[in-house]
Amino acid sequence: MNVIVTKDYQEMSMKAFELVKKVVTENPSAVLGLATGSTPLGLYGEMARDHRENGTSYRDVKTVNLDEYEGLDVTSDQSYVYFMRENLFRHLDIDLKNTNIENGRAQDPEKECARYNALLEVMRQDLQVLGIGSNGHIAFNEPGTPFDAQTHVVELTESTIKDNSRLFARIEDVPRRAFTMGPKNIMNAKKILILANGANKAKAVYGLVKGEVTEQLPASVLQRHPDCTLVCDEAAASLL
């Protein structure tokens, strides 16, 4: 794993942006795997600024997002599809038809997982952007998820519900279940870029880089990826 430590969040976002821009410039119809959460917001801000100032085009770029809360769709401002449109897509010239995410309100969750897996087969990510949960989760793959799992519905752990509740009015409003790509879908990406900032991620980052490769710390599977880069700030890197 390549590890890049930056002095702060701003520099982390800029470094991540440079890596994303390189992929899109080299291949204007690249498939980008994207993530939600507060970590990639700075990266998305840089992509928007660069599009505005330099005209970098996303017209032919396709995206696949990692995960979505069960029961939520674009009509809810807590949904991940809403997050992506608000924080990234509406600032780019991307065609919304080229953006993909699990349908949180699918009638038949199993069928929805199968649909998403089939889509990922034909849309292999040129680059997958990831954040990391404080318990070492990636996407919504909680500790104990088999490394060979594909898109599935998960019960969120209490720690994830608590972490994510800051974005909801009340903790009771956080959905208990979510759709998520599995570790296998993530590992299938040609390149992986994982971002982390803040001291609350330091333990998870240690497990990601130096810990044992174990399903108890889902991000540790990335040690087996041939082209994975971690960009993190000094606080997140403090235990390395």
> Residues with catalytic annotation?
67, 135, 137, 142
Q: How far is the CB of 33 from ligand GLP (least distance, A)?
A: 11
In the beta sheet, which residues pair with residue 233?
A: 6
SS (H, E, C) the chain: CEEEEECCHHHHHHHHHHHHHHHHHHCCCCEEEECCCCCCHHHHHHHHHHHHHHCCCCCCCEEEECEEECCCCCCCCCCHHHHHHHHCHHHCCCCHHHEECCCCCCCCHHHHHHHHHHHHHHCCCCEEEECCCCCCCECCECCCCCCCCCCEEEECCHHHHHHHHHHCCCHHHCCCEEEECCHHHHHCCCCEEEEECCHHHHHHHHHHHCCCCCCCCHHHHHHHCCCEEEEEECCCCCCC
Give CA separation, 85 vs 18, 117, 141, in Å: 22, 22, 23
The reply on whether position 38 binds ligand GLP by CB under 6 A is yes
Member of 6, 36, 98, 145 binding ligand GLP (CB under 6 A): 36
Q: How far is the CB of 160 from ligand GLP (least distance, A)?
A: 5
The reply on whether position 131 binds ligand GLP by CB under 6 A is yes
Q: Of 131 and 207, which CB lies nearer to ligand GLP in the complex structure?
A: 131
138-157 footprint of ligand GLP as x/- string (CB under 6 A): -xx-----------------
Q: Of 89 and 140, which CB lies nearer to ligand GLP in the complex structure?
A: 140
Footprint (CB under 6 A) of ligand GLP, residues 67-96: 67
The reply on whether position 181 binds ligand GLP by CB under 6 A is no
The reply on whether position 102 binds ligand GLP by CB under 6 A is no
Number of residues counted as binding ligand GLP (CB under 6 A): 14
Tokens of 179: 């759709």
Q: Of 94 and 133, which CB lies nearer to ligand GLP in the complex structure?
A: 133
Q: Of 86 and 95, which CB lies nearer to ligand GLP in the complex structure?
A: 86
Q: Of 27 and 38, which CB lies nearer to ligand GLP in the complex structure?
A: 38
The reply on whether position 164 binds ligand GLP by CB under 6 A is yes
Give CA separation, 49 vs 44, 156, 227, in Å: 9, 34, 27
Q: Which amino acid is at 80?
A: Y
Q: How far is the CB of 194 from ligand GLP (least distance, A)?
A: 9
The reply on whether position 35 binds ligand GLP by CB under 6 A is yes
The reply on whether position 128 binds ligand GLP by CB under 6 A is no
Please report, as ranges, the residues that interact with ligand GLP according to CB under 6 A: 35-39, 66-67, 131-133, 139-140, 160, 164
